[in-house]
Amino acid sequence: MTTNLSPPGTEATRARNLLVAANGLALVRLTIGAMLVWVFFENQGKGLYRQAGYSGLIHYYIKAGHSPAAWKAFMAFAASHAAIAAPMQAVAEISFGILLVIGLLTRPVAFVVFLYLGSLWVSEWGTAWIWELLVPVLASLALALGRAGRRWGVDARLAQRNPDSPWW
């Protein structure tokens, strides 16, 4: 059991609470980053970054899913350009994962991951459990808002030089 020597509401207590919160956000950042790295290798093994695999998966979402018609039209466009879209998705997933794991440019990367996972979530409506991607989507938004790279990440070093930067 830990003894708290500082009276409640003191600067020391607030600083300790912020440190605990920063550790929690850093753990979420590492988890989302590791998830993206894992998904990259899993998708690569399934052939989903090749034209046929990517196009097949997208067509499955279009046929079986319940996403809006406008979104299905966008997915059909991506599937028809799978030779370009599949490798772009591969590069995005591994890059996002590595950047989150090392905690570099966490805020903008986490925001883009929020948008990216949100788009996947909409694509999977009706084909997967609704919470499967919604939790990582919202966790990514929390990472962007909470400056999760300032703990256990490269952003912490960058923030020492420029603490007011919105990038970390």
Q: DSSP secondary structure string, 75-129?
A: HHHHHHTHHHHHHHHHHHHHHHHHHHHHTSSHHHHHHHHHHHHHHHHHHTTTTS-
Q: How confident is the model over 151-166, as pLDDT tens digits?
A: 999 999 999 999 999 8
Give the per-residue pLDDT at 95. 98
Q: Give the model's confidence band at 6: pLDDT under 50 very low, under 70 low, under 90 confident, else very high.
A: low
Q: Considering only residues 18 and 22, tell me which one the structure prediction assigns the higher pLDDT.
A: 22
- What's the pLDDT at 111? 98
DSSP-derived secondary structure for 116-155: HHHHHHHHTTTTS-THHHHHHHHHHHHHHHHTGGGSSSHH
pLDDT tens digits, one per residue of 92-130? 999 999 999 999 999 999 999 999 999 999 999 999 999
Residue 162 region, left (φ>0) first, then alpha (ψ -120 to 50), else beta? beta
pLDDT digits (tens, 9 = 90+) for 124-135: 999 999 999 999
**Does the reported pTM lie above 0.85?**
yes
